[in-house]
Amino acid sequence: MQYLPNLFFALALIFGIGFFVMNVRKLIRNINLGKDIDRSDNKSQRWKNMAMIALGQSKMIKRPFAGFLHIVVYVGFVIINIEVLEIIIDGLFGTHRVFQPILGNNLYAFLIGTFEILAALVFVSVIIFWLRRNLANIKRFLSKEMKGWPKNDGNFILYFEMVLMSLFIIMNATDIPFQEAGIGNPISQFVAPWFSDFSTETIHTIEKTAWWIHILGILVFLNYLYYSKHLHILLAFPNTFYANINPKGQFDNLESVTNEVKLMMDPSADPYAAPAEGAEETVPEKFGASDVTDLNWVQLMNSYTCTECGRCTSSCPANLTGKELSPRNIMMKTRDRLEEVGNNIDANGGSFKDDGKQLLNDYITPEELWACTSCNACVEECPIGIDPLSIITDMRRYLVMEESAAPQELNMMMTNIENNGAPWQYNQQDRLNWKDEE
Amino acid sequence: MNVPTMAEMMAQGKQPEVLFWVGAAGSYDDRAKKISRAFVKILHQANVDFAVLGAEESSTGDAAKRAGNEFLFQMQAMMNIEVLNGYEVKTIVTCDPHSFNTLKNEYPSLGGKYKVYHHTQFIKKLIDEGKLTVDDTNLKGKRLTYHDPCYLGRANEVYESPRDLIRRLGVNLTEMKRSKATALCCGAGGAQMFKEPEKGDKDINVLRTEDALETKPQIIATGCPYCNTMMTDGIKFKEKESQVKVQDIAELIAEANNL
């Protein structure tokens, strides 16, 4: 019987981590529904970007107040994991504060003391975050895409963190030998007196309960990630690594189009020629993107990485002037559709069954797509290297090249380029008239 | 104005050092043509050996590409590359950040590899090489703010060369609250120049003009013919055309040097 808690702990751990791994596999499967894109070049630059942007949070601090609070919560989260390791060992082997004798009192006191201070700072930061999100009337938290789940999700995360940090402090405060030793308890020593009227037994029960809820809470939180914008704590790393490192103005030149254009411009090519003997029958490629499977895996990973912070949307000139486009919403809708496609595959034994829906029209409207000025403000703003513009561009390509569904004025502009070599209807022979006009 | 073409140069057996890529706006738009002329005056003053393509130049395809028409873009690109490579062009300078971006970044993988300068970079280079000086007395003390074109700034991280030139004018440069990497678009990019905006509360160029007017400028400087149009329209909308001028940096340099 005495091993029952250890057994229960081991089961909770296996179940918690197992369920998480299952969801991560689904996540990877979904991301791989996207087309391949080669982002294996310039490894050193990519590692550097990941170190600076994801690990070093260099872009978060562009907005200093939120950036500073975020760093507090982030550092707290990363460092407190050492404590989680101790909890796991204690839980599995029935030990208590197993690191204390190993590290020696001084180092242990230093570590736990640091965790306590961080926990308190995280607690305060999270409360400020909650106030900002719910009471401070910050426009980017009030957009229409931030109703319902996205709003609740943001708050749930904050509640989770408040509770986990409180439990950590309570757990330390009610550990009588730990308090009596008077080491590493810079915060919990002020909480300990709250419990001084209780019997030793009750205090011990409170400690055990706090300990259990803390670790079970962490496991639940771990599994909450997959369903939440909080997934960014993991995906920010690969996302910054695989982010576009070309100049932002450089759009990719579609290779499938290059082949067609070369064929058109090659005077010796026979358009009616039968495919060479033995040549593969290739399915004509679809130009641009109308659904998530037409996007590449980096774009799909982007959608899962999006933290819905709205920095993109709050700097988008179209959005700032009241137009339908919101780059954040482009990412959120891409993720929603990708989830839907993933669930469809799961429900249909591993293959997608046509559901009569697609990303274009059912999620993202042409009106949003045509409002984009391709100014790259959203890309510049994103603290973790998401590129909403590339999705907008690929969807415009589908609208134009597959459906000829550009706004009429753009069709005229394109006709002019085709006929006169300029977006306006002028004669190409008049190109140099300006030199003689004063 | 003496603006030699590549064809004329070739007929004389000459190979100019630099090709001036005028761009569609610089060739046909009445306002932008003035920028082309101002830049040519600067090239003449610095004795730059240059030529243009004239009737052989065609749209880079930038607007078509941003609108999603990759076919049309690549057709334009390949035709232009054929012409450019035929003349063995090595160095290109342009006053249009959209042409600059496309020629510099999107033509190489289609076979067009050139050294491409935006005119602000090129003028700065002329100054650094001692081929040009800027008189800082004509515009001295004027209040000026600079609008970063997206396709020069964020798209290619060219923030300093235009500012370097502005500082040489002796003007009083005041930055807008949104500038450099956080600059607001003028509203013309991504082929928006050629269509009505989607419905909203206001037009982007008006919002950007408001950004500029907050600095109480006498001059709004920019380095893009499309930004120039959008900001000029914004100033008209705000009925400030008697107080505020919108000018390209090339025009300001030409004015400073009495060209």
Q: Which residue has the higher pLDDT, A6 or B152?
A: B152
Residue A284, min C-alpha distance to chain B (Å): 15
Distant-in-sequence, close-in-space partners of B34: CB < 8 Å, separation ≥ 6:
B251
Beta carbons of B200 and A265 less than 8 Å apart: no
Q: Which pLDDT score, from 0 to 100, does residue A277 have?
A: 59
Beta carbons of A261 and B74 less than 8 Å apart: yes
Q: Which pLDDT score, from 0 to 100, does residue A285 have?
A: 78
Q: Which pLDDT score, from 0 to 100, does residue B19 have?
A: 98
Q: Which pLDDT score, from 0 to 100, does residue A371 have?
A: 97
pLDDT band at A67 (very low <50, low <70, confident <90, very high): very high
B18-21 β-sheet, strand order: B50-51, B18-21, B91-94, B115-118
Residue A73, min C-alpha distance to chain B (Å): 26
Q: Which pLDDT score, from 0 to 100, does residue B121 have?
A: 98
Look at residue A124 and give its three-state secondary structure.
helix
pLDDT band at A260 (very low <50, low <70, confident <90, very high): confident
Q: What pLDDT, in 10s, does the model give residues B21-34?
A: 999 999 999 999 99
CB A52 within 8 A of CB A241: no
- Considering only CB atoms, which chain B residues are within 8 Å of A435? 1-3, 36-37, 40
Beta carbons of B75 and A437 less than 8 Å apart: no
Residue B1, min C-alpha distance to chain A (Å): 6
Q: Which pLDDT score, from 0 to 100, does residue A211 have?
A: 92
- Stated length of chain B: 259
Q: Which pLDDT score, from 0 to 100, does residue A196 have?
A: 87
- Considering only CB atoms, which chain A residues are within 8 Å of B61? 417
Other beta carbons within 10 angstroms of residue A90's beta carbon come to 18
Rounded Cα–Cα distance for residues B161 and B125 (Å): 9
- Considering only CB atoms, which chain A residues are within 8 Å of B76? 417, 421
Beta carbons of B74 and A370 less than 8 Å apart: no
Q: Which pLDDT score, from 0 to 100, does residue A293 have?
A: 96
DSSP string, B118-150: EHHHHHHHHHHTTS----SSTTTT-EEEEPPPT
- Considering only CB atoms, which chain B residues are within 8 Å of A320? 184, 204, 207
Distant-in-sequence, close-in-space partners of B75: CB < 8 Å, separation ≥ 6:
A261, A264, A265, A418, B61
Beta carbons of A376 and B154 less than 8 Å apart: yes
Rounded Cα–Cα distance for residues A307 and A311 (Å): 10
Mean pLDDT over the full length of chain B: 97
Side-chain half-sphere of A280: how many Cα atoms within 13 Å? 3
Beta carbons of A393 and B188 less than 8 Å apart: no
- Considering only CB atoms, which chain A residues are within 8 Å of B188? 373
Distant-in-sequence, close-in-space partners of B167: CB < 8 Å, separation ≥ 6:
B173
Q: What pLDDT, in 10s, does the model give residues B34-92?
A: 999 999 999 999 999 999 999 999 999 999 999 999 999 999 999 999 999 999 999 99
Which of B37, B41, B70, B157 to substitute to test the interface with A, most A CBs within 10 Å? B70
Q: Which residue of A has its CA nearest to B82?
A: A265
Say yes or no to pLDDT of A279 above 60: no
Residue B140, min C-alpha distance to chain A (Å): 26
Residue B106, min C-alpha distance to chain A (Å): 6
Residue A333, min C-alpha distance to chain B (Å): 20
Q: Which pLDDT score, from 0 to 100, does residue A284 have?
A: 65
Closest-CA residue to B21 (of B225, B171, B217, B216): B225
- Considering only CB atoms, which chain A residues are within 8 Å of B113? none
- Considering only CB atoms, which chain B residues are within 8 Å of A426? 27-28
Beta carbons of A434 and B27 less than 8 Å apart: yes
Closest by Cβ to A431, choosing from B27, B64, B109: B27
Beta carbons of A429 and B55 less than 8 Å apart: yes
Distant-in-sequence, close-in-space partners of B257: CB < 8 Å, separation ≥ 6:
B42, B45, B133, B134, B135, B138
Q: What is the mean pLDDT of residues A122-127?
A: 96
- Considering only CB atoms, which chain B residues are within 8 Å of A381? 182
Q: Which residue of A has its CA nearest to B187?
A: A373
Which of A431, A433, A436, A438 to substitute to test the interface with B, most B CBs within 10 Å? A431
Q: Which pLDDT score, from 0 to 100, does residue A282 have?
A: 60
Q: What is the mean pLDDT of residues A33-44?
A: 95
Quick one: what percent of chain A has pLDDT higher than 70? 96
Rounded Cα–Cα distance for residues B56 and B67 (Å): 24
Q: Which pLDDT score, from 0 to 100, does residue A208 have?
A: 92
Quick one: what percent of chain A has pLDDT higher than 90? 83
Q: Which residue of A has its CA nearest to B202?
A: A321
Rounded Cα–Cα distance for residues B3 and B24 (Å): 16
Residue B49, min C-alpha distance to chain A (Å): 17
Residue A81, min C-alpha distance to chain B (Å): 36
DSSP string, A357-412: --HHHHTB-HHHHHT-----HHHHH-TT---HHHHHHHHHHIIIIIT--S-HHHHH
Q: Which residue of A has its CA nearest to B152?
A: A249
Beta carbons of B194 and A410 less than 8 Å apart: yes
Say yes or no to pLDDT of A283 above 80: no
Q: Which residue of A has its CA nearest to B107?
A: A253
Phi and psi for B67 in degrees, rounded to 5? -75, -10
- Considering only CB atoms, which chain B residues are within 8 Å of A421? 24, 57-59, 76
Rounded Cα–Cα distance for residues A342 and A360 (Å): 17
Inter-chain CB pairs, A–B, below 8 Å: 226
Q: Which pLDDT score, from 0 to 100, does residue A265 have?
A: 81
Beta carbons of B106 and A253 less than 8 Å apart: yes
pLDDT band at A54 (very low <50, low <70, confident <90, very high): very high
Closest by Cβ to A422, choosing from B28, B110, B196: B28
- DSSP3 helix / strand / coil % (chain A, rounded to 5): 70, 0, 30
Closest by Cβ to B63, choosing from A262, A375, A423: A423
Residue B54, min C-alpha distance to chain A (Å): 5
Mean pLDDT over the full length of chain A: 93
Q: Which pLDDT score, from 0 to 100, does residue A80 have?
A: 83
Torsion of CA A113, A117, A120, A123, to 10 degrees: -110
Q: Which pLDDT score, from 0 to 100, does residue A224 have?
A: 95
